[in-house]
Amino acid sequence: MIVTLKNAMTVDVEDYFQVSAFEPYIAKNQWDALPHRVANNTHRVLDLFAAHGIKATFFTLGWVAERYPDVVKRIVAEGHELACHGYEHIRVTEQTPAQFRADVAKTKLILEDLGGVAVNGYRAASYSINASNLWALDILQEEGFAYSSSIYPVKHDLYGMPDAPRFRYEPLAGHPDFKEIPITTLKIGAKNLPCGGGGFFRFYPYAVSKWAFRRVNQAEQQAAIFYFHPWEIDPEQPRQSGLNLKTRTRHYLNLQRMEGRIKQLLRDFEWDTMAKVFL
């Protein structure tokens, strides 16, 4: 084991066709007609965590929970944290405050009814809380959430708030119990570089991610967050046609290596849920 500081392992529970990059190619009214792989893939992730004695936080879509309640029940039964990812992966930047409130309230209720536990955490689709819609944090606090993990302090073409704090902070005056817990970055000079997981983890050699997490833990003495999606350990998922080069590369790059890299990450660092690491 490299360090004794615990990091937060997180999974965004959504299917391959629900990613934001596929929005121009796959309409939501097609979702039920497509082959669903999220349940089997999430069970594979749960098997993987069980084999390594890992507890994690599962940010789960309400759409998935309604169709696969057994997945939600297993997440809770095995001691993981159940958290909210919105109902059907709509970015907060595409919602009005009223729409956002309805979305998170609906999803929180679905998850709590199925899981039989309080749902305290929220993660926005595609990290879509930024400087333009910080009102969303007020709504989350008002709807009973204890934390958000929705801000990525990087510059990116799809998301990001590069000037945001890099580590856990209290974004709402008068509400110190509500936390924003940003996705982990590595500060090199004046730039924040992404190192919290997802496509970046598949793009970099594993040694780079290992070095970055070790630096955050040891040099900065901070807990880190890692995230991935169940579809990322599924290289056999149906391939979509007509994708542009950027989207095709981002989605399919190194899927066949992802599970092996995650196993190595689970061995090299200590992990727990968001709530236990940060609250």
Q: How many DSSP H helices and E strands does the chain contain? A: 10, 10
Question: What's the average pLDDT block by block, 10 residues per block, for the chain (279 residues)?
Answer: 78 97 95 98 98 98 98 98 98 98 98 98 97 97 98 79 94 97 93 90 95 96 97 97 92 96 97 98
Which domain does 82 fall in, by range?
6-278
- The answer to whether residue 1 sits within a structural domain is no
What is the largest distance, in Å, between two alpha-carbon atoms of the chain?
50
Q: How many angstroms from the chain centroid is the CA of residue 262?
A: 15
Structure tokens at 223: 């807990």
The total number of residues shown for the chain amounts to: 279
Q: Which amino acid is at 173?
A: A
3-state secondary structure of 273: coil
Task: Write phi, then psi, for 187 (nearest 5 degrees).
Answer: -90, 120
126: alpha, beta or left, given left = phi > 0 and alpha = psi -120 to 50?
A: left
- Domain-embedded: residue 134: yes
State the CATH number of the domain containing residue 219: 3.20.20.370
Three-point CA angle 138, 109, 27, nearest 5°: 85
Return the pLDDT at 3: 44
**What predicted TM-score, i.e. pTM, was given to this entire model?**
0.96
Task: Please give the pLDDT value at position 279.
Answer: 95
Domain count, the chain: 1
Confirm whether 243 is domain-assigned: yes
Q: What angle do CA 171, 18, 14 make, to 5 degrees?
A: 65
Query: pLDDT at position 154, please?
Result: 87
**In a domain? residue 54:** yes
Helices (H), 79-198: 97-115, 135-142
Q: What pLDDT does 1 receive?
A: 44
Q: What is the pLDDT of residue 158?
A: 66
Looking at residue 2, its pLDDT comes to 44
